[in-house]
Amino acid sequence: MTSHSDPFQRPEVGPVRRLAVLGAGPVGLDAALAARDAGFALRVYEAGPHPAAHVRQWGHVRLFSPWSMNLSDRMREGLTAIDRPLEVDPDVSPTGSELVDRVFDPLWSTAFLSGALHIGTRVLAVGRQGTLKHEEIASTTRASRPFRILVRDETGTERTEFADLVLDCTGKFGNPNTLGDGGIPAPGERALERRIERWLPDLDREAERWTGGTTLLVGGGHSAQTAVRALDALARRSPGTRVIWAMRREDPELGADPDDPLPLRRELVAEASRIARGDSAGVEPELGVVVDALESAPDGVSVRLRRGGADVREIHADRILALTGGVGDAGIYRQLQVHECYATSGPMKLSAALLGSGGGDCLAQESHGVETLMNPEPGFFILGDKSYGRNNTFLLQVGWSQVDEVFAAIGGGAPPGPSSP
């Protein structure tokens, strides 16, 4: 069914340019506020049943960064405008849920944003009307063609909508990496998916599910470190609960930095390093190993861990917690002219800029300018966590700057006049 009064259901441009935001996470929200201020017709597609679906998944986790860094000026002003000014200690870190409750949900419930937001609506693919990826290369014609956006709503019905500009803010949390060596699934992994948890569990609320038997935790990054700390505490107070922590790195020192300006991160890394050294009774660390294969076993999974070429250990796990990072879904823009980095899978120019800046502390990360966010595909931008590809140094405050830069470049909702560049 199409509605002719809905500009997103017609291919042709109307009196106002249409901007589609894919993903109602924190960066999608900031982009939506900027689109409203710039006078665009706005549509936001959110796959989850609520906005900020990813943040809600890890809502129990306290962010490393303090309130002062976790909301944009647009959000602050928006909250004041609806008489919900944020009165918090700017130096304290909120949990994900506190951000949702105090900032994201109140803003999404305002008339303009709630009217633009389509929840339960997953974007499956974006193309360009009347042309293919390999056609109209470096041609100005491409920009005059509307984007075609294939979406699937909560009833499973698919439809195409149209937009003049698209901001892909779908993040990477929903696209976790698999367990096997070399970044590909281990043999047996796909068949045993129901035994593998890929989200950070809330062990205060779900303790029962994780008590007793053996949990195999795989991964060494901050998410795995957060989980191991909670699992260690659970195992120490619950006899019969065993936790094995497998990671590729051999060195148990996980990068603890006494000068880390974020105290919560400093404490987490120090505590996780202590656990990785084998200094806690609750967790058995297995360092320098990869997951070689998984096999179904009575009441669980038999997991083969391999160290080096041949040294193999078989363990029995009742459940597996895989926290091995993630990368954005490139399938969405497969038919667009997006130049991806061969190493990080992020947009090429931004990846090169990040590489050039030498990684380093994520607190020092800043936006690298709108040039690095431009794609060969005109009018298509990847923003937020997804824009960092496999780099895990993205910070929300970088997202706010990306939104500023993109909106300064794309102008406002009025269609460009005949003499405009």
Ligand X SMILES: Cc1cc2nc3c(=O)[nH]c(=O)nc-3n(C[C@H](O)[C@H](O)[C@H](O)COP(=O)(O)OP(=O)(O)OC[C@H]3O[C@@H](n4cnc5c(N)ncnc54)[C@H](O)[C@@H]3O)c2cc1C
The CA R_g of the chain, rounded to the nearest whole Å, is 23
Part in contact with ligand X (CB under 6 A); list of ranges 23-31, 268-276, 284-292, 301-309:
23-31
CA 296 and chain centroid, separation = 31
Instruction: Please report which residue ranges of 60-192 form alpha helices under DSSP H.
Output: 67-70, 73-81, 96-99, 105-108, 111-116, 141-144
Q: Compose the 120-149 pattern: x for residues touching ligand X by CB under 6 A, - for all others.
A: --xx--------------------------
Count of residues of this chain found to bind ligand X when the rule CB under 6 A is applied: 36
Q: Is 60 in the site for ligand X (CB under 6 A)?
A: no
Distance CA 372, CA 366 (A): 12
Q: Which residue in 7, 48, 78, 188 binds ligand X (CB under 6 A)?
A: 48
- The one-letter code for the residue type at 385 is D
CB neighbours of 391 closer than 8 A, spacing ≥ 6? Answer: 344, 346, 351, 354, 359
Least separation, in Å, of the C-beta of 362 and ligand X? 8
Q: Is 55 in the site for ligand X (CB under 6 A)?
A: yes
Distance CA 96, CA 88 (A): 15
DSSP single-letter state for residue 50:
S
Distance CA 381, CA 375 (A): 7
Q: Which residue in 54, 74, 229, 304 binds ligand X (CB under 6 A)?
A: 54
Q: Is 324 in the site for ligand X (CB under 6 A)?
A: no
Least separation, in Å, of the C-beta of 387 and ligand X? 8
The 3-state DSSP class for residue 348 equals helix
Q: Compose the 164-203 pattern: x for residues touching ligand X by CB under 6 A, - for all others.
A: -----xxx-xx-------------------------x---
Q: Is 326 in the site for ligand X (CB under 6 A)?
A: no
Least separation, in Å, of the C-beta of 378 and ligand X? 22
Residue 40 or 394 with smaller CB distance to ligand X: 394
Distance CA 103, CA 356 (A): 34
Interface positions with ligand X (CB under 6 A) = 22-28, 45-48, 52-55, 58, 61, 63-65, 122-123, 169-171, 173-174, 200, 223, 332, 384-385, 394-396, 399
